[in-house]
Amino acid sequence: MNSLLTRRGVLIGGGLCTLAVCGVAGCSSYGPEDAPAGPVLPMTVPTSDVPVGGGKIYADHKIVVTQPTAGHYKAFSAICTHQGCVVGEVTTTIGCPCHGSKFAIADGSVVNGPATAPLPALNASVSGSKVTVR
């Protein structure tokens, strides 16, 4: 068996290449080229859409608008700072469905990890019955 391409060599080489490709793909995370785009701004929503002590997610715009106390509106990016998922619910906190991170509705700070950074705050202003997010 003086052949450079033995059956065993081809099988081992093919297996190693497959492991290398699968390992790289399996450990990937969001990079600059595949991360979700940021919030779509500006945006205006009716104040009546945002409950006191809660909020509403505008997934198409990647924005969360909250009303922690009556008449005080806040806005945040809806992109979780852990791995870039769009948050999925607002109760007394803003929750991410991917890994369970929770953020405060008053300031976007982390209430429960694995996220370690707060949701980025956006500028929310009220005029009449509309909240404008910039």
pLDDT per position as a tens digit, 22-70: 444 433 344 444 556 789 889 999 999 999 999 999 999 999 999 999 9
Q: Maximum CA pair distance of the chain?
A: 86
Q: Which residues contact 127 (CB under 8 A, 6 or more apart)?
A: none
Task: Give first-to-last CA distance, the chain, whole Å.
Answer: 72
Q: What pLDDT, on a 0 to 100 scale, did the predictor assign at position 4?
A: 55
- pLDDT score recorded for residue 41: 87
Beta carbons of 74 and 107 less than 8 angstroms apart: yes
Domain 43-133 top-level CATH class: mainly beta
pTM: 0.74
pLDDT at 30 (0 to 100) = 44
Say how far apart CA 95 and CA 80 lie, in whole Å.
Answer: 9
* pLDDT reported for residue 22: 40
How far apart, in whole angstroms, are the C-alpha atoms of residue 103 and residue 52? 16
Tens of pLDDT, residue by residue over 94-126, are 999 999 999 999 999 999 999 999 999 999 999
pLDDT of residue 5 exceeding 70, the answer is no
User: Which of helix, strand or coil describes residue 89?
Assistant: strand
Query: In terms of pLDDT, which residue wins out, 61 or 9?
Result: 61
